[in-house]
Protein backbone atom coordinates (compact mmCIF):
# COMPACT_ATOMS: atom_id res chain seq x y z
CA UNK A 1 0.00 0.00 0.00
CA UNK A 2 1.16 3.52 -0.78
CA UNK A 3 1.33 5.71 2.33
CA UNK A 4 -0.28 9.13 1.95
CA UNK A 5 0.96 11.99 4.13
CA UNK A 6 -0.59 15.46 4.17
CA UNK A 7 1.38 18.16 5.98
CA UNK A 8 -0.42 21.17 7.39
CA UNK A 9 1.09 24.63 7.16
CA UNK A 10 4.26 25.40 5.18
CA UNK A 11 7.07 22.87 4.88
CA UNK A 12 10.70 24.02 4.75
CA UNK A 13 12.28 22.99 1.44
CA UNK A 14 15.49 21.59 2.91
CA UNK A 15 13.43 19.54 5.37
CA UNK A 16 11.38 18.20 2.47
CA UNK A 17 14.48 17.14 0.52
CA UNK A 18 15.95 15.46 3.60
CA UNK A 19 12.71 13.54 4.19
CA UNK A 20 12.51 12.41 0.57
CA UNK A 21 16.11 11.27 0.39
CA UNK A 22 15.77 9.30 3.62
CA UNK A 23 12.46 7.72 2.57
CA UNK A 24 13.77 6.85 -0.90
CA UNK A 25 16.81 5.15 0.63
CA UNK A 26 14.62 3.16 3.01
CA UNK A 27 12.29 2.12 0.18
CA UNK A 28 15.29 0.93 -1.85
CA UNK A 29 16.52 -1.03 1.17
CA UNK A 30 13.12 -2.64 1.66
CA UNK A 31 12.69 -0.91 5.02
CA UNK A 32 9.72 1.32 4.10
CA UNK A 33 6.80 1.40 1.71
CA UNK A 34 6.05 3.78 -1.12
CA UNK A 35 4.84 7.24 -0.18
CA UNK A 36 2.98 10.25 -1.59
CA UNK A 37 3.61 13.38 0.47
CA UNK A 38 1.40 16.45 -0.05
CA UNK A 39 2.86 19.77 1.10
CA UNK A 40 2.89 23.52 0.61
CA UNK A 41 6.10 25.53 0.75
CA UNK A 42 6.84 29.13 1.68
CA UNK A 43 7.67 31.26 -1.39
CA UNK A 44 10.86 30.01 -3.05
CA UNK A 45 12.45 29.19 -6.38
CA UNK A 46 14.15 25.91 -7.25
CA UNK A 47 16.68 25.31 -9.99
CA UNK A 48 16.57 21.93 -11.69
CA UNK A 49 19.53 20.30 -13.37
CA UNK A 50 18.83 22.12 -16.67
CA UNK A 51 18.31 25.59 -15.17
CA UNK A 52 19.88 28.57 -16.93
CA UNK A 53 20.98 31.42 -14.68
CA UNK A 54 19.56 34.06 -17.02
CA UNK A 55 16.09 32.60 -16.37
CA UNK A 56 16.32 33.71 -12.72
CA UNK A 57 15.24 37.28 -13.40
CA UNK A 58 14.83 38.39 -9.75
CA UNK A 59 17.42 36.41 -7.76
CA UNK A 60 16.98 38.44 -4.57
CA UNK A 61 13.22 38.09 -4.30
CA UNK A 62 12.85 34.68 -2.64
CA UNK A 63 15.27 31.99 -1.49
CA UNK A 64 16.69 29.97 -4.38
CA UNK A 65 17.48 26.29 -3.96
CA UNK A 66 19.56 24.16 -6.27
CA UNK A 67 17.58 20.99 -6.82
CA UNK A 68 18.81 17.72 -8.27
CA UNK A 69 15.48 17.07 -9.97
CA UNK A 70 15.19 17.33 -13.72
CA UNK A 71 13.96 20.52 -15.36
CA UNK A 72 14.68 24.22 -15.06
CA UNK A 73 13.46 26.94 -12.67
CA UNK A 74 10.15 26.64 -10.91
CA UNK A 75 8.31 28.45 -8.14
CA UNK A 76 6.76 26.94 -5.03
CA UNK A 77 4.62 28.82 -2.55
CA UNK A 78 1.41 28.95 -0.54
CA UNK A 79 -1.63 27.96 -2.56
CA UNK A 80 0.30 25.47 -4.65
CA UNK A 81 0.01 21.77 -3.89
CA UNK A 82 3.28 19.91 -4.19
CA UNK A 83 2.94 16.13 -4.40
CA UNK A 84 6.23 14.44 -3.64
CA UNK A 85 6.22 11.01 -5.20
CA UNK A 86 8.40 8.29 -3.67
CA UNK A 87 7.63 5.21 -5.73
CA UNK A 88 9.56 2.10 -6.73
CA UNK A 89 9.95 2.63 -10.47
CA UNK A 90 12.07 -0.51 -10.68
CA UNK A 91 9.22 -2.71 -9.55
CA UNK A 92 6.81 -0.68 -11.68
CA UNK A 93 8.47 -1.55 -14.98
CA UNK A 94 11.97 0.01 -15.08
CA UNK A 95 10.65 2.56 -17.60
CA UNK A 96 11.42 6.16 -16.69
CA UNK A 97 9.71 7.63 -19.75
CA UNK A 98 6.54 5.71 -18.99
CA UNK A 99 6.71 6.79 -15.35
CA UNK A 100 6.84 10.46 -16.36
CA UNK A 101 3.89 9.85 -18.69
CA UNK A 102 1.99 8.36 -15.74
CA UNK A 103 2.68 11.47 -13.68
CA UNK A 104 1.30 13.57 -16.54
CA UNK A 105 -1.75 11.30 -16.83
CA UNK A 106 -2.32 11.56 -13.08
CA UNK A 107 -2.31 15.36 -13.17
CA UNK A 108 -4.57 15.46 -16.24
CA UNK A 109 -7.02 13.00 -14.68
CA UNK A 110 -7.05 15.05 -11.47
CA UNK A 111 -7.78 18.27 -13.37
CA UNK A 112 -10.57 16.47 -15.22
CA UNK A 113 -12.33 16.13 -11.86
CA UNK A 114 -12.87 19.89 -12.08
CA UNK A 115 -13.73 19.90 -15.80
CA UNK A 116 -10.34 21.34 -16.70
CA UNK A 117 -8.72 19.93 -19.85
CA UNK A 118 -5.03 19.62 -19.13
CA UNK A 119 -2.76 18.89 -22.07
CA UNK A 120 0.83 17.92 -22.81
CA UNK A 121 2.94 19.77 -25.36
CA UNK A 122 6.07 18.46 -27.09
CA UNK A 123 9.11 20.37 -25.94
CA UNK A 124 7.27 21.93 -22.99
CA UNK A 125 7.41 20.15 -19.66
CA UNK A 126 4.33 20.21 -17.46
CA UNK A 127 0.59 20.36 -17.99
CA UNK A 128 -1.05 23.19 -19.93
CA UNK A 129 -4.53 24.61 -20.48
CA UNK A 130 -5.71 26.57 -23.50
CA UNK A 131 -6.91 30.12 -22.79
CA UNK A 132 -9.45 31.04 -25.43
CA UNK A 133 -10.35 34.02 -23.24
CA UNK A 134 -6.94 35.58 -23.91
CA UNK A 135 -5.51 37.19 -27.06
CA UNK A 136 -3.58 35.00 -29.49
CA UNK A 137 0.16 34.73 -28.94
CA UNK A 138 2.68 36.66 -31.06
CA UNK A 139 2.92 33.61 -33.31
CA UNK A 140 -0.87 33.58 -33.79
CA UNK A 141 -1.47 30.49 -31.67
CA UNK A 142 -4.10 30.06 -28.97
CA UNK A 143 -2.74 31.28 -25.66
CA UNK A 144 -1.82 28.55 -23.20
CA UNK A 145 -0.99 28.74 -19.52
CA UNK A 146 0.87 26.26 -17.37
CA UNK A 147 -1.11 24.87 -14.44
CA UNK A 148 1.22 22.10 -13.25
CA UNK A 149 4.94 21.40 -13.21
CA UNK A 150 6.70 18.02 -13.18
CA UNK A 151 10.25 17.28 -12.10
CA UNK A 152 11.63 14.04 -10.70
CA UNK A 153 14.82 12.31 -9.75
CA UNK A 154 15.54 8.61 -9.43
CA UNK A 155 18.02 6.95 -7.13
CA UNK A 156 18.32 3.17 -7.16
CA UNK A 157 15.07 3.22 -9.19
CA UNK A 158 13.18 5.02 -6.42
CA UNK A 159 11.60 8.33 -7.45
CA UNK A 160 11.49 11.53 -5.45
CA UNK A 161 10.48 15.12 -6.07
CA UNK A 162 7.29 15.02 -8.17
CA UNK A 163 4.53 17.36 -9.34
CA UNK A 164 3.10 20.73 -8.35
CA UNK A 165 -0.40 21.95 -9.17
CA UNK A 166 -1.48 25.57 -8.85
CA UNK A 167 -4.64 25.84 -6.76
CA UNK A 168 -4.52 29.50 -5.73
CA UNK A 169 -0.92 30.73 -5.46
CA UNK A 170 0.10 34.33 -5.96
CA UNK A 171 0.69 34.11 -9.71
CA UNK A 172 2.73 37.31 -9.74
CA UNK A 173 5.41 35.43 -7.79
CA UNK A 174 6.21 33.48 -10.95
CA UNK A 175 7.49 36.70 -12.54
CA UNK A 176 10.86 36.35 -10.80
CA UNK A 177 11.77 33.45 -13.08
CA UNK A 178 11.18 32.25 -16.61
CA UNK A 179 9.20 29.16 -15.59
CA UNK A 180 10.81 26.11 -17.21
CA UNK A 181 12.56 28.44 -19.65
CA UNK A 182 9.35 29.25 -21.54
CA UNK A 183 8.63 32.90 -22.33
CA UNK A 184 5.72 32.74 -24.79
CA UNK A 185 3.15 31.30 -22.41
CA UNK A 186 1.93 32.18 -18.94
CA UNK A 187 0.92 30.53 -15.69
CA UNK A 188 -2.55 29.90 -14.29
CA UNK A 189 -4.30 28.21 -11.38
CA UNK A 190 -7.60 26.54 -10.67
CA UNK A 191 -8.90 29.66 -8.96
CA UNK A 192 -7.56 31.89 -11.76
CA UNK A 193 -9.65 29.76 -14.15
CA UNK A 194 -12.73 30.64 -12.11
CA UNK A 195 -13.00 27.48 -10.01
CA UNK A 196 -13.45 27.86 -6.23
CA UNK A 197 -11.35 24.77 -5.54
CA UNK A 198 -9.74 24.26 -2.13
CA UNK A 199 -6.53 22.41 -1.37
CA UNK A 200 -8.62 19.69 0.27
CA UNK A 201 -10.71 19.32 -2.90
CA UNK A 202 -7.55 18.80 -4.91
CA UNK A 203 -6.14 16.30 -2.44
CA UNK A 204 -9.29 14.18 -2.70
CA UNK A 205 -9.06 14.22 -6.49
CA UNK A 206 -5.34 13.35 -6.46
CA UNK A 207 -5.94 10.35 -4.26
CA UNK A 208 -9.01 9.20 -6.15
CA UNK A 209 -7.21 9.28 -9.49
CA UNK A 210 -3.90 7.84 -8.34
CA UNK A 211 -4.82 4.16 -8.32
CA UNK A 212 -6.43 4.22 -11.77
CA UNK A 213 -3.20 5.56 -13.24
CA UNK A 214 -0.53 3.78 -11.19
CA UNK A 215 -2.36 0.81 -9.70
CA UNK A 216 -0.90 -1.17 -6.84
CA UNK A 217 2.77 -2.07 -6.58
CA UNK A 218 3.16 -5.48 -8.28
CA UNK A 219 3.50 -8.34 -5.81
CA UNK A 220 6.88 -9.99 -5.35
CA UNK A 221 7.38 -13.04 -7.53
| Euclidean distance between CA atoms 150 and 126, whole angstroms | 5
Binding site: which residues?
69-76, 149-151, 162-164
Topology (CATH level 3) of domain 3-214: BirA Bifunctional Protein; domain 2 (3.30.930)
| Three-class SS state of 139 | coil
Predicted local confidence at residue 182, as pLDDT? 61
Active site residue 180: yes
**Strands ordered across the beta sheet of 64-66:** 64-66, 44-47, 73-76
Predicted local confidence at residue 181, as pLDDT? 56
Predicted local confidence at residue 50, as pLDDT? 86
Catalytic residue among 158, 180, 190, 193, which?
180
Q: Is the pLDDT of residue 147 over 50?
A: yes
CB burial string 91-130: b at 16+ within 10 A, e below: ebeeeeeebbebbbbbbbbbbeeeebebeeeeebbbbbbe
Length of the chain as a residue count: 221
| Euclidean distance between CA atoms 78 and 62, whole angstroms | 13
Predicted local confidence at residue 79, as pLDDT? 98
Whole-prediction pTM value? Answer: 0.93
Q: Find the range with the poorest average confidence among 13-17, 127-131, 214-218.
A: 214-218
Q: Is the pLDDT of residue 221 over 50?
A: no
Domain range annotation of the chain: 3-214
Tell me the pLDDT band of 159, cut-offs 50, 70 and 90.
Answer: very high
Predicted local confidence at residue 141, as pLDDT? 86
Predicted local confidence at residue 62, as pLDDT? 96
Binding site for substrate: which residues?
69-76, 149-151, 162-164
- At 32-66, the pLDDT tens digits run 999 999 999 999 999 988 888 899 999 999 999 99
| Euclidean distance between CA atoms 5 and 127, whole angstroms | 24
Amino acid sequence: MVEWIVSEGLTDYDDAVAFMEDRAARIAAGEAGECIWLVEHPPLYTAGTSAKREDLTDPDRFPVYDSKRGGQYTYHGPGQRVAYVMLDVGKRGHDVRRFVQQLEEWVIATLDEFNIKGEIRDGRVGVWVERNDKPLTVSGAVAEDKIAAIGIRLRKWISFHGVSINVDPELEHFSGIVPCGITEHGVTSLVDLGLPVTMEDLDVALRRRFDEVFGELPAEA
